[in-house]
Chains A and B, each alone.
Chain A
Amino acid sequence: MARNTPTPGQKIIYFIFIALGISILYIDINSKIFSNVKNNFQSYKITSSFVIKNISVNSLKEFIEMMSSKQKLLNENTLLRKKLDESYLKNFLITKENSFFTDHTEVVKAIKDDFVIESFHFAKLKQIDPNIFNCCDRHRIYIEILDKNKENFKEAAVFNLNGIIGQVVGNGSQNEVILLTDVKSSIPIKNSRGDFFCNAMGSGRANHISCTYNQLVWIDEHEIGDSYYSSGLGGIYPKNIKLGELSSIEIIDSSNTKLEIKLVSSPLDTNLFGVIKI
């Protein structure tokens, strides 16, 4: 659609407005007659932008900050928890000296020997099936050993805050661990007096291992509640670490007796483990 070009009358109006504009511009440059209007408008502009910003942007910002600080706190909490677990594991020999060892001097020896620090790694639990752990014979878990190099971890002992839980049997990005309760697992144990030694086998039941011995060869003075420790004879597990307490004695026949020991540690206790290779 065609637009009409300005008529001479309209051109005069344009001229009048331009002349008016020039006059206002001249007055404004040479006097402060409009300063009040400008100042009031600027203050109104600043106030309204402040109010709008306060209502919209700042509220949103505060909300986001609140959410992020909450997430930050959660992350910090997780991190602190992990550090605490690590600290417990690092010092587990010291913190558990009364219950782990046969006597107090063992911990001093362990620290002096420095065997824990030399070959110590943290590991994270990657996979465990609690149903199989509670029902079946094959008790295995998978862990991821942290900060590991190309070291071979096969036959390294795995423990948690409460004590030994098993040994590494598989290498790879995730390491398979055979638990003490697996029927194929075996750990040399001894009693607190040090006059009885036996190879305890996994019972296939959660938190229980059993040891069968010939009462004609070994003394037969066991009581329910007696503590049993690792003897360290197999060369895999460190010696003198408390494994559990005697929960039942079963006389199989005239020459064989079966002791059942309830373990103090369970793989379900924590997600963080220590791996020692001695």
Chain B
Amino acid sequence: MIISLIKKTILIILVSYLDYKISYGLSKIYVILPLTFLAYSFFLYKSDSNIGPFESFATGMFVDLLTNSYFGHNAILFCFASYLINTYSNTFKLFSYFQICIFFGASATAYVGFSQIILNLYNFSYLTLFLSGIFNTIFCIFIAILSVYFTSIPGRKI
């Protein structure tokens, strides 16, 4: 239990750091890639059991603390993602990889839009939202392709 918690914490810190590092480069092409959110969504999707609202909320608060954003920003979105994925966890099995990728891409775009409304309301950019939506969907498809064609690595297959 404790080891699992430490693992999750370290992973969150690493992904958050990676997110921070790539965000500057991507912002030059009007793209926001919410890597932490996508990673957590993927974790929720891959999990064998349901992740409760408290854990999602706590994780979101921790990410807020790490990224120095407003408290509650990631907490709400992580909680909402957890709710959606838990609700449709069985329905996803009927979906193709492509549909799942579109779902994750759309949820990442929603995250970007919501974040823009909270953090950057006066400079809200539809261009950023639109490009981020396309980029995030392509990114998810790319990850899915990787997992399909490189299944040799344990746990990669989605």
Contacts and interface: CB of A to CB of B under 8 A. Distances in A.
Interface stretch (B33-41, B53-61, B104-112, B143-151): B53-61
Given A4-B50, A6-B50, A17-B53, A24 B71 contact: yes
B90 interface: yes
A29 interface: yes
Given A6-B50, A17-B54, A22-B72, A38 B86 contact: no
Q: Is the contact region of chain A dominated by helix, strand, or loop, or is it mixed? A: helix
Most buried by A among B50, B68, B76: B76
A2 B91 CA distance: 10
Interface residues of A, number: 29
Interface string A80-123: 00000000000000000000000000000000000000000000
B83 A14 contact: yes
Given A20-B57, A25-B118, A6 B72 contact: no
Contacts of A16: 53
A25 B57 CA distance: 12
B87 A5 contact: yes
Interface string B40-51: 000000001110
A42 interface: yes
The residue in A1, A2, A21, A28 that gathers the most chain B C-beta atoms within 10 A of its C-beta is A21
A25 B50 contact: no
Contacts of A2: 90
Contact of B89 (A3, A25, A26, A41): A3
A25 B79 CA distance: 14
B48 A21 contact: no
Interface of A: 1-6, 10-11, 13-14, 16-18, 20-29, 34, 37-38, 41-42, 45
